[in-house]
């Protein structure tokens, strides 16, 4: 999928191109302005129609292309625009399961590294407050050790998730949720809010990989 922006006078237009099959040429192009009031659809370079933003409900706005296939657009919140052709995801589109899993894997890596760093800093601070304590695994509080273990599991699960394993992502969601259930009484409110929001975001990616009915 290719994305770009072009300016026509004072109007800035964003475009995205999609292939009909993975590895094929881009034949469908979507274009919209900064206000996203409407989406222009081009098929093989020729304009196929325009879809108004307000006409893209949750169940999708549809447009029949010149080859008889039906293009459907849906807005899926933080995940982006779902682009379907005859109820099949276009390769490289926002809700293409392969892309969703790769995005989830990146989120897992970022969350795992950020959380590991935070837990390690908190552990160092606690150990420095204890006279004669040394920074080693045996000296770490049990809750911190469990949290670091969940971070390591999340990091290891990122690779199979990026390679297309939905099961790995599901386990990763559970691991991330578990780390915030361990020693939660020691965490600040903003940290718990971050944990809930990130768990929700990972879970949203997980459920997005299942085929939506209707």
pTM to 2 decimal places: 0.81
Q: Tell me the average pLDDT across 163-177.
A: 93
Residue spans per domain, the chain: 2-89, 97-208
Q: Tell me the average pLDDT across 29-43.
A: 91
pLDDT confidence of 126, banded at 50, 70, 90? low
Closest by Cα among 167, 174, 136, 135 to 153? 174
pLDDT exceeds 50 at position 10: no
pLDDT per residue over 52-99, tens digit each?
888 787 678 999 999 999 999 998 889 999 999 999 999 999 999 999
> What's the Cα-to-Cα distance from 171 to each of 10, 101, 160, 161, 165, rounded to whole Å?
48, 13, 11, 10, 10
C-beta atoms surrounding 112 within 10 Å: 24
What is the C-alpha separation between 18 and 28, in angstroms, rounded? 5
Higher pLDDT, 101 or 4: 101
Give the model's pLDDT for residue 114: 85
């Amino acid at each position: 999928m290719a994305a770009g922006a072009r300016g026509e006078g004072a109007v800035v237009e964003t475009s995205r191109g999609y292939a009909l099959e993975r590895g094929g040429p881009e034949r469908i192009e979507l274009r919209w302005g900064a206000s996203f009031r409407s989406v222009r659809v081009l098929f093989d370079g020729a304009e196929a129609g325009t879809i108004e933003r307000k006409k893209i409900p949750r169940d999708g706005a549809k447009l029949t292309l010149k080859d008889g296939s039906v293009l459907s657009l849906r807005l899926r919140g933080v995940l982006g625009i779902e682009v379907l052709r005859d109820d099949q995801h276009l390769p490289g589109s926002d809700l293409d399961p392969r892309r969703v899993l790769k995005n989830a894997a990146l989120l897992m890596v970022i969350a795992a590294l950020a959380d590991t760093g935070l837990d390690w800093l908190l552990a160092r601070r606690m150990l420095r407050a204890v006279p004669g304590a040394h920074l080693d695994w045996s000296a770490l509080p049990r809750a911190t050790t469990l949290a670091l273990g969940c971070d390591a599991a999340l990091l290891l699960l990122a690779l199979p998730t990026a390679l297309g394993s939905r099961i790995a992502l599901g386990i990763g969601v559970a691991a991330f949720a578990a780390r915030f259930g361990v020693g939660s009484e020691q965490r600040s409110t903003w940290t718990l809010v971050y944990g809930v929001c990130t768990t929700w975001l990972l879970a949203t990616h997980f459920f997005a990989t299942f085929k939506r009915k209707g």
